[in-house]
Amino acid sequence: MKYVFTVFAMIFAVFLYTSSSLNKTAIAFDGKTYKDAFEQLDLFADVLARVNNDYVVDINNTELISEAINGMLLSLDPHSSYISPKEYKNLLISTSGEYSGLGMEVTLDEGFVKVISPIDDTPAKKAGIKPGDFIIEINDESIFGLSLSEAVDLMRGKPGELVNITIARNNDERIQFNLKREIIKRKIVTYSIKEGIGYIRISQFNENAYQELSKAISSLEKEMFGSVPGLILDLRGNPGGLLDQSIKISSAFLDGGKVVSTKGRKESDNRNYNADKGELLKEVPIIILIDEGSASASEIVAGAIQDRKRGLIVGMKSFGKGSVQSIIPLKGGAEGAIKLTTQRYYTPSGKSIQGKGITPNILIGYFPEDLKKKERKKEADLPNTLPIETGEHQVESEVIMPIDYPPNGFKIDSDYQLKRSVEILKSETYADKLDSST
Amino acid sequence: MYLLIKSSILKITSIILAAIFFTLWCPYLVAKAQISNNSQTLKKLELFADIFYQIRENYVDEIDDALLIQSALNSALNSLDPHSGYSSASDFIEQKKREKREYGGLGIEVSLENEVIKVNHAIKDGPAYMAGIRTGDMITSVGGNPVKGKTLAKAVEGMRGDPGDPIKLIILKPDDTKTELTVIRQVVRGRAVRHRIESGYGYVYIETFNNSELTEDLIDALNSITQGLNGDLPGLIIDLRGNRGGLLEQSIKVSSLFLNGGEVLSAKGKKLQDTQRYHAEHGELFPDTPIVILINSGSASAAEIVAGALQDRGRAVIVGRRSFGKGSVQSVIPLSEDNGALKITTQRYYTPSGKSIQSRGIMPDVLVAITPDTGEIKKRLREYNLPNSLSNKDDTNFKEVYEEIIYPNDDWNTSDDFQLHKAIQVLSLKKYHEIIEKNMNIGNLN
């Protein structure tokens, strides 16, 4: 078998060498033309040769090629990147269990590491790190130019050790934080009863999300003596996570039917995800709270519940990350992996969320109107983001709706969005709005 | 949002086939790239080809191969140092055009004063000069549009455009006579040198070395100064502050004006045979005239070559602040078949005494600040602050000594140029010759 392979490879190689010198031979393979691709790889080698020969000092070719790989992936969109073998191992751990770190979700924004949101009950949250903060130094070293995972690596490590973080807030304000690493147990679902209404907050969608949610629901039911009059599902600041968890969670509130569909470049990659039969909290009115920090998996849940008219979406327009990344291991993970945007997802009514986000049925602000300039960045503002699709899936329904801001003097900490949601669930507004929702 | 890829048997087969296809290409690529430490690079290049393949196959949108490789090259070359990069074919053509592009203009330097355009200088034999416009004239209307109420940029908009077109101007002469003139736009070259007589000494300001006729302009300027001083030039100030550099050739020629032969500069690459030495021609202008060169942290590249050469050769005293420190040469290497070009750093500059300019810059003989003392040395943007800049192993502790910096007093009128003021003093001091002698000794040691 090995022998056959070698011969096969040799024939192939010979073919390639000849075709490269002819340059005109189009190589048909799998119905595609690879000629252009080879010419481009050829150009890459050409440049490597020149740099090796002429650069002022000796260069490290493997580093140079690594930079090329990063550049190539980052040029695609803000969510595609290379994952080193070590990071790949970490990734397999981090979607399942715990890690030792500071406890915040971060992203890369124009070369800077930006906090999407601190995770509840972690050193970062307790110290007062806020969504939208930029991390500019870790242990007094500038991290500009580092990849996201390199920066994350600096923050993770032995529990108990101190990590010094410099934050830039509101452009010029610089704040130092001295944080002690902790084992971040991602308790991601919390629940409580707010004025007789059930309240569940999901802070992200990791492997335990659905399990923790169903536990929270049964605890709520027990504490409310079997009858939950209404439920608020809080997905504010939830940056997303695993696709299958978002489907399971949507499925909990839907009795079968469409949840989300994903479309890749090839039609054969398109998939529809449906809810299982049977639902929790049947006929209980539901409000899902979202804001600019609700992204990805959060938007799938909100989109499905909204489109299927199972509940009302309340809050501010969501982040708008409607793309799915696949982790593609390289040489079985021995060479790391790439995280590559492979699909866009669509709500049950066929709307793409990419760049647009979910618009709530009722817009309610968290900050008073005069503070609304502080609006957070959305997917559509990220450099090099996937474009909003035009064509059959685009629904032109940018209706300007009034936003209900907290009145002057309202204490921000009292959470106006939550307060109003409770009121809506208790009033006629809920049913009216649900009926009139499109 | 992660999703581990699950593929059908068929897809896996096709991936393996295509991956082999790509991987097989790599030994050829390595051979082509003439890389010596083969095995590691080969492995990395295979990885590169594999990822390139994965993106082409699986990315959510169709991707242009050329754009992918362009991003890869950009990122790789930018990682080398802040001055290396890749230009695609279209960028490269655009760059070449921009370098050559010549705009039509009137050949005047202007400013806006009291809502009229003031002519600060009419370039001799330029179109405006030929039409009778002189330094000190006011322009109240350009192409039928009154200047009043416009910003300078807006007001001069009509002056630039296609060469050959006529343009009507209303001119107010200093004696308050109003005339209407028609000037034909021509391709004009900006004046490279400004000059004046300053406290009985010659003063020339060179804004940029990006001018192929700079040396000629400088000679003209020096002639006009000596004429103004009745054939005598008791001292000369060459102001290179804020000068970002430009053409290497011009920096050699300018240095050469003030040196009687000998080395101006050497440039060394990775290989010994890449070393180039640049020499001054024999014969110099004003061999007995003391020269002070003014530099600051904005003086870079070609400006540092001139300052470094004249300092090392004991021909000038350098006054001001430590310069920027860009001591590297970039070469633009066009690639075959419309594949654009790469710009990479190929050499470093060394002053005649053998010191590398890279990252260190030129240290003035007399450190003079432009603004009063604030108790510390303010951080300036210099080459070594640029992320990833080329290091210089000689640059340890090459810093301005705070105690040595001469600051203007707090009550110094900042609209007066303190550095220039000190430069004039240096020209007339005995200290000038002491510094020159000391520098010559250092130069001779090497």
Kindly report the CATH number assigned to the domain that includes residue B108. Answer: 2.30.42.10
Asked if residue B320 is part of any domain, the answer here is: yes
Q: What b/e sequence results for A382-414 when a residue is b if at least 16 CB atoms lie within 10 Å of its CB, and e otherwise?
A: beebbebbeeebeeeeeeeeeeebbeeeeeeee
Least confident of A172-181, A319-328, B152-161, B171-180: B152-161
3-state secondary structure of B323: coil
- Closest partner CB to B80 (pick from A55, A296, A324): A55
More confident residue, B395 or B79: B79
Residues B175 and B307 in one domain: no
User: B426: pLDDT confidence band, cut at 50, 70 and 90?
Assistant: very high
Question: Is position B69 within any domain?
Answer: no
Question: In this structure, are B173 and B233 located in the same domain?
Answer: no
Per-residue pLDDT of chain A (438 residues; tens, 9 = 90+): 333 333 233 333 333 333 333 232 223 344 345 677 788 888 888 898 889 888 998 888 889 999 999 999 999 998 899 998 888 887 776 555 567 889 888 887 777 888 888 887 889 999 999 888 889 889 988 887 787 878 888 888 888 889 999 998 877 778 899 999 988 876 789 999 999 999 999 988 988 899 999 999 999 999 999 889 999 999 998 989 889 999 999 999 999 999 999 998 888 878 999 999 989 999 999 999 999 889 999 999 999 999 999 999 999 999 999 998 988 999 888 889 999 999 999 999 999 989 889 999 999 998 887 555 445 667 777 777 777 775 544 444 455 678 888 988 888 778 999 999 999 999 988 988 888 876
User: Is residue A262 a contact partner of residue A346, using CB atoms and an 8 Å limit?
Assistant: yes
Residue B102 has a pLDDT of: 54
Q: Clarify whether residues B177 and B208 are in a common domain.
A: no
| Nearest residue to A366 (alpha-carbon basis) of A420, A402, A320 | A420
**Section B335-352 average pLDDT:** 87
Pair (A243, A111) in one structural domain: no
Q: Is B12 on the interface with A (CB under 8 A)?
A: no
pLDDT of res. A371: 54
Residue B353 located in a structural domain: yes
Does residue A243 share a domain with residue A345? yes
Chain A residues with beta carbon closer than 8 angstroms to that of B391: none
Consecutive H or E run containing A259: strand A258-263
Of A9, A40, A71, the CB nearest to B76: A71
Radius of gyration of chain B (CA): 28
Whether residue B343 lies inside any domain: the answer is: yes
- Burial code (b: 16+ CB inside 10 Å, e: under 16) for A41-75 equals bbbbbbbbbbbbebbbeebebeebbbbbbbbbbbb
Q: Tell me if B132 sits within 8 A of B170, measured CB to CB.
A: no
- The least confident of A80-94, A247-261, B259-273, B410-424 is A80-94
List all residues of chain B from 60 to 79 with a beta carbon under 8 Å from chain A.
60-63, 65-69, 71-79
Least confident among A32-36, B60-64, B188-192: A32-36
Residue pair B140/B170 in contact (Cβ under 8 Å)? The answer is yes
Dihedral over Cα of A179, A182, A187, A188: its sign: positive
* Token output for B5: 């890829």
* B263 shares its domain with B402: yes
pLDDT at residue B416 is higher than 80 = yes
Put simply, the answer to whether A327 touches B5 (Cβ < 8 Å) is yes
- The contacts of residue B84 (CB under 8 Å, 6+ apart) are A55, B77, B78, B330, B342, B343, B344, B345
Q: Cβ contact (<8 Å) for B59 and A265?
A: yes
- Residue B358 distance to chain A (closest CA, Å): 12
Chain B residue at shortest CA distance from A144: B387
Alpha-carbon distances, residue A240 vs A235, A294, B68 (angstroms): 9, 7, 28
| Cβ within 8 Å of residue B433, ≥6 positions away | B290
Q: Which of A30, A49, A330 sits opposite B18 (nearest CB)?
A: A30
- Chain B partners within 8 Å of A75 (Cβ): 67-68, 71, 75
Beta bridge partners of B146: B141
Pair (A167, A198) in one structural domain: no
If asked whether residues B394 and B327 sit together in one domain, one would say yes
Q: Do A209 and A345 lie in a common domain?
A: yes
The strand pair at B366-367 and B317-320 is best described as parallel
Closest partner residue to A242 (CB to CB) among B2, B331, B345 is B2
Closest among A278, A423, A414 to A362, alpha carbons compared: A423
A386 within 8 A of A344, measured Cβ to Cβ: yes
Report how far residue A96's alpha carbon sits from residue A370's, in angstroms, rounded to the nearest whole number: 41
Residue A88, in any domain of the structure: no
Contacts of B236 (CB under 8 A, 6+ apart): B201, B202, B203, B204, B222, B286, B289, B290, B291, B292
The answer to whether the Cβ–Cβ distance between B20 and A340 falls below 8 Å is: no
Which amino acid would we find at residue A402? P
SS3 A241: strand
Overall domain count for chain A? 3
pLDDT at A34: 65
How many Å lie between the alpha carbon of B334 and the closest alpha carbon of chain A? 10
Residue B255: pLDDT band (50, 70, 90) is very high
The pLDDT assigned to A96 comes to: 54
CATH value at residue A250: 3.90.226.10
The first and second tokens of residue A149, run together, are 């995972």
Rounded to an integer, what distance in angstroms lies between the CA atom of residue B73 and that of residue B75?
5
User: Quick check: B393 pLDDT over 80?
Assistant: no
Domain annotation covers residue B66 = no
Same domain, A40 and A169: no
Q: Do B65 and A40 touch (CB under 8 A)?
A: yes
Q: Is A41 in Cβ contact with B22 (below 8 Å)?
A: yes
At B165, list the tokens.
């077109």
Cα distance between residue A423 and residue A416, in whole Å: 11
Give A-chain residues touching B273 at CB under 8 angstroms.
none
Q: pLDDT tens digits, residue range B73-105?
A: 999 999 999 889 888 887 777 766 655 545 567
Please report the ipTM that was assigned to this predicted complex.
0.72
pLDDT recorded at residue B273? 78
Q: Where do we find the tokens 């509940």? A: A311
Contact assignment for A67 to B21 by CB distance below 8 Å: no
- Regarding whether A341 and A206 lie in a shared domain, the answer is yes
Q: Which residues pair with A313 in a beta bridge?
A: A288
Task: Please report where in the chains the tokens 């969608």 appear, as a residue.
Answer: A205
Domain range enclosing B265:
193-445
Catalytic annotation, residues of B: 301, 312, 326
Pick from A344, A376, A318, A341: nearest CA to A79: A341
| Residue B80: inside a domain | no
Query: Residue A265's closest chain B neighbor by CA?
Result: B60
Question: DSSP strand E in B144-226: where?
Answer: 145-146, 166-172, 178-184, 186-187, 193-198, 201-206
Give the residue from chain B lying closest to A205, CA to CA: B1
pLDDT of B235 higher than 70: yes
SS3 B60: coil
Which member of A47, A63, A71 has the closest CB to residue B71? A71
Same domain, A19 and A140: no
| Token pair in block for residue B257 | 């004006």
Residue A280 neighbours by CB distance under 10 Å: 16
Instruction: Return the bridge partners of B350, or none.
Output: B266, B356
Task: Give the end of a domain, one of B187, B216, B241.
Answer: B187
Q: Nearest-CA neighbor of B149 among B158, B161, B137, B140?
A: B140
Examine residue B95 and state whether it is found in any structural domain, yes or no: no
Mean pLDDT of B19-23: 58
The answer to whether residue B349 is domain-embedded is yes
Q: Are B211 and B122 contained in the same domain?
A: no
Write down which residue in B187, B209, B233 finishes a domain.
Answer: B187
**Residues of A with Cβ-Cβ distance to B339 under 8 angstroms:** 43, 46
* Chain A residues near residue B50 by CB distance under 8 angstroms: 330-331, 335
Q: Using the beta-carbon criterion (under 8 Å), do A46 and B339 form an inter-chain contact?
A: yes
Residue among A85, A116, A122, A84 nearest A101 (CA)? A122
Beta bridge mates, B161:
B104
Residue B169 forms contact with A (CB below 8 Å)? no
Count other Cβ atoms within 10 Å, centred on residue A331: 14
Look up the CATH number of the domain holding residue B429: 3.90.226.10
Query: What are the chain A neighbours of B329 within 8 Å (beta carbons)?
Result: 56
Q: Which of B159, B187, B215 is the last residue of a domain?
A: B187
Q: What is the spatial distance between Cα B87 and Cα A414, in angstroms, rounded to a whole number?
A: 55
Kindly report the number of other CB atoms within 10 A of residue A145's CB atom: 12
Examine the domain organization and report whether B197 and B310 are in the same domain. yes
Q: What three-state secondary structure class fits A172?
A: coil
B55 touches chain A (CB under 8 A): yes
CB contact under 8 A, A342 and B59: yes
Helix, coil or strand: residue B54: helix
pLDDT tens per residue, range A299-310: 999 999 999 999
**Cα–chain center distance at B105:** 23
Q: Do A46 and A141 lie in a common domain?
A: no
Total tally of structural domains belonging to chain B? 3
Nearest to B335 among A43, A328, A330 (CB): A43
Could you tell me the residue range of the domain that residue A55 belongs to? 2-59
Residues B178 and B233 in one domain: no
B132-138, Cβ contacts within 8 angstroms, sequence gap of 24 or more: B132/B179, B132/B181, B133/B106, B133/B108, B133/B169, B133/B171, B133/B181, B133/B183, B136/B174, B137/B171, B137/B172, B137/B173, B137/B174, B138/B113, B138/B171, B138/B172, B138/B173
* Dihedrals phi, psi of A397, to nearest 5 degrees: -140, 45
In A291-409, the DSSP E strands lie at 312-315, 323-329, 337-346, 362-363
B167 plus B225 within the same structural domain: no
